[in-house]
Amino acid sequence: MQDDSTQQKKPLRAAALKRTFRLYKYVKPYWPAFGLGLLFLFISSAANLAFPKLLGELVDAAGGHRVTNDPHRINQIGLFLAGILIAQGIFGYLRIMLFVNVTERSLASLRQHIYNHMIKLPMRFFLNRRVGELGSRISSDISLLQETFTTTVAEFIRQLIIIVGGLVLLLHTSVQLTILMLTTLPVIMVIAFFFGRFVRRYSKLAQSQVAEANTIVEETLQGVLNVKAFANEFFEMQRYHKKIREVAATGMKTGKFRGAFAASMIVGVFGAMIGVIWRGALLIAEGKMDPGMLLSFVLYSSFIGGSVAGLAEVYASIQKSIGATEHLLEILDEPAEPVEEMTTVAPQDQLTGQISFNDISFHYPTREDQEVLQHVSFDIAPDQQVALVGPSGAGKSTIVSLLLRLYDPQEGTVRFNGKDATGFPLSALRSQMAIVPQDVFLFGGTIRENIAYGKPGAGTEEVKAAAEKANAWEFIERFPDGLDTIVGERGIQLSGGQRQRIAIARAVLKNPRILILDEATSALDSESERLVQDALEKLMEGRTSIVIAHRLSTVRQADKIIVLDKGQLVEEGTHEELVQMDGGLYRNLSEMQFSH
């Protein structure tokens, strides 16, 4: 669980700001609207500044010391004020609308750009990141930017205009009072700085504690089955209780500083106000000032005070968005895989189904010291059925990953058609292979969508034919909604065997040159097993297939069995050949499996 406000606050540095400006390219196409928005912002802020002055004049027109009372002028000023008010409303509305439009369009393009980039990133990128975290991070980073673009930037500009313009008008109204007011500022600033630091520190702590508490809630709800199965409800309640108590304790500590902060700010601000009004009253009494001027002065001071206070918030928010931007840029700076949209595969890139591994050594980028494959070489002829067997962790799935070029080996080459795999466009390679994984991943939509994933845009007839071939049609047909049955998140509304047959139908539709099957370890009941096995056999016909076999009973008919152990290829041959080998690993494994 991420908490927006604890994360990614970075000090404002020139370099960071400069990097942030790289995002400007997303706003650039909309700069005329943005510029117009800025102009309106300027107008509405300036109109804002006119109010205190005019209100002061209105009061004085009623009869100050130095002005004669003048009903005509009162009405004139009143009308003028109303006019400004309306203008401000209109410009304010237009400004917000323009800013929101620009922001929404820019963010849509940024979102799309980031997603497009991220989905093309190599597996290496996803290995050391938690995917859920990545997703929520990006959405919170983008919402932060959304706020910055729509409100913060505008607020910042508005506040600057008000502070600078306000100060000029204050000086114009009364130099003496301005100096008096400004002398109180340092005191208020010191108080704000001192307490503000504590408040920030404790709020940060509280936020991270809340995040920890939320993690408990999330994890236990997601894994509620485990909690219940272990009868650990009370254990979890305790764990949550402890965290929540910590949150409350920190909150109360923060409260002390927050209270002190608020109280001293109120005393400071009102103290300054009283000082100024007192001094102003004396000036009026001395005939050096009119009541209306004092009113303008006080209003200007409060405008400025409000803007200065707001500036602190704006600063924090800009800091946060710089952090967010850096994150997003980090992702954008990761080199993507050279995947491209494939409609047809060029003739020279068409796979014959011949594959060879030549002296391949490989370690995962995250674990450099663990050689997962060591000098592995083998050849697969077109249309051969090959089984990969070996103990858990031997490197079977890794071989599949290398085939799909999810990773490239550090040593040796993978070849297709006798040609180095790197010589084919990545998407051309992958588009001619299909994998039926062990853990079938279904998307949350309908059965139809899930099958058509093998060939986006496939028509009902095609989908149906694929489902029939995969022995899936008989159960799909029995659902009232047929192909339009919703499978539920990750396919939870289907049984294991049904999920597998959908994955097979998907592969049938893709009609790959090379088929990769990761046999399910969890045994299905014999009826589903037979249906799945039968569908797989039909699917394997007429193409090269590589089966990661966990149960040796299913690999007897394979043209070739490759036996791996601890990253090395230890035996290779047909079932008959391998069972002959005295002390061979395959023979051992099959004796073990068939002895019970």
Dihedral through CA 320, CA 324, CA 325, CA 330, nearest 10? 140
Whose CA is closest to 144, among 9, 243, 254? 9
Q: Is the CB of 198 or the CB of 364 nearer to ligand ATP?
A: 364
Around 135, how many Cα atoms within 13 Å sit in the side-chain half-sphere?
A: 4
Token pair 């205190």: residue: 52
Rounded Cα gap, residues 140 and 349, in angstroms: 42
Interaction between residue 127 and ligand ATP (CB under 6 A): yes
Q: Do the Cβ atoms of 418 and 455 come closer than 8 Å?
A: no
393 to 412, contacts with ligand ATP by CB under 6 A? 393-398
3-state secondary structure of 565: strand
Q: Is the CB of 87 or the CB of 524 nearer to ligand ATP?
A: 524
Q: Is the CB of 68 or the CB of 128 nearer to ligand ATP?
A: 128
Task: Work out how close the CB of 158 gets to ligand ATP at its nearest, in angstroms, rounded to a whole number.
Answer: 51
Task: Work out how close the CB of 441 gets to ligand ATP at its nearest, in angstroms, rounded to a whole number.
Answer: 16
Which listed residue (344, 392, 522, 526) binds ligand ATP by CB under 6 A?
A: 392
Give the binding range for ligand ATP (CB under 6 A) out of 41-49, 259-267, 286-294, 390-398: 390-398
How far, CA to CA in Å, does 257 sit from each of 26, 205, 576?
A: 41, 14, 80
How far, CA to CA in Å, does 365 sit from each of 372, 399, 410?
A: 11, 15, 10
Task: Work out how close the CB of 589 gets to ligand ATP at its nearest, in angstroms, rounded to a whole number.
Answer: 12
Angle at 178 between CA 172 and CA 181, to 5 degrees: 155
77 to 106, contacts with ligand ATP by CB under 6 A? none
How far, CA to CA in Å, does 429 sit from each of 196, 398, 436, 503, 582?
A: 58, 17, 16, 20, 39
Q: Is the CB of 144 or the CB of 440 nearer to ligand ATP?
A: 440
Q: Is the CB of 334 or the CB of 340 nearer to ligand ATP?
A: 334
Q: Is the CB of 172 or the CB of 367 nearer to ligand ATP?
A: 367
Rounded Cα gap, residues 448 and 459, in angstroms: 9
Q: Is the CB of 305 or the CB of 390 nearer to ligand ATP?
A: 390
| Contact pattern for ligand ATP over residues 15 through 54, marking x by CB under 6 A | ----------------------------------------
Interaction between residue 281 and ligand ATP (CB under 6 A): no
Task: Work out how close the CB of 163 gets to ligand ATP at its nearest, in angstroms, rounded to a whole number.
Answer: 54
Give the binding range for ligand ATP (CB under 6 A) out of 72-80, 310-318, 392-400, 452-460: 392-400
Quote the distance between the C-alpha of residue 358 and its chain's center. 39
CB atoms within 10 A of CB 474: 11
β-bridge partners, 361: 411
311 to 370, contacts with ligand ATP by CB under 6 A? 364, 366-367
Rounded Cα gap, residues 454 and 341, in angstroms: 14
Task: Work out how close the CB of 391 gets to ligand ATP at its nearest, in angstroms, rounded to a whole number.
Answer: 7
Give the binding range for ligand ATP (CB under 6 A) out of 140-148, 187-195, 387-395, 533-541: 387-395
Interaction between residue 128 and ligand ATP (CB under 6 A): no
Instruction: Please report the beta strands in 499-585, taking only residues with DSSP state E, as ranges in sequence order.
Output: 514-518, 544-548, 560-565, 568-573
Give the binding range for ligand ATP (CB under 6 A) out of 277-285, 289-297, 328-336, 388-396: 388-396
Burial of 289 (0-12, 13-18, 19+ CB in 10 A): buried
Task: Work out how close the CB of 367 gets to ligand ATP at its nearest, in angstroms, rounded to a whole number.
Answer: 5
Q: Is the CB of 301 or the CB of 398 nearer to ligand ATP?
A: 398
Q: What is the DSSP string of 368-422?
A: TT--SEEEEEEEE-TT-EEEEE-STTSSHHHHHHHHTTSS--SEEEEEETTEEGG
Quote the distance between the C-alpha of residue 500 and its chain's center. 30
Interaction between residue 386 and ligand ATP (CB under 6 A): no
Radius of gyration (Cα) for the chain, nearest Å? Answer: 36
Q: Is the CB of 369 or the CB of 576 nearer to ligand ATP?
A: 369
Q: Is the CB of 240 or the CB of 364 nearer to ligand ATP?
A: 364
Q: Is the CB of 304 or the CB of 547 nearer to ligand ATP?
A: 547
Interface with ligand ATP: number of residues (CB under 6 A): 13
Rounded Cα gap, residues 314 and 316, in angstroms: 5
Token pair 């991220």: residue: 118
Give the binding range for ligand ATP (CB under 6 A) out of 185-193, 230-238, 259-267, 386-394: 386-394
Whose CA is closest to 493, among 435, 442, 535? 442
Give the binding range for ligand ATP (CB under 6 A) out of 100-108, 132-140, 385-393, 427-435: 385-393
Q: Is the CB of 377 or the CB of 460 nearer to ligand ATP?
A: 377
Q: Do the Cβ atoms of 296 and 52 come closer than 8 Å?
A: yes
Interaction between residue 372 and ligand ATP (CB under 6 A): yes
Residues within the interface to ligand ATP (CB under 6 A): 127, 364, 366-367, 372, 390, 392-398
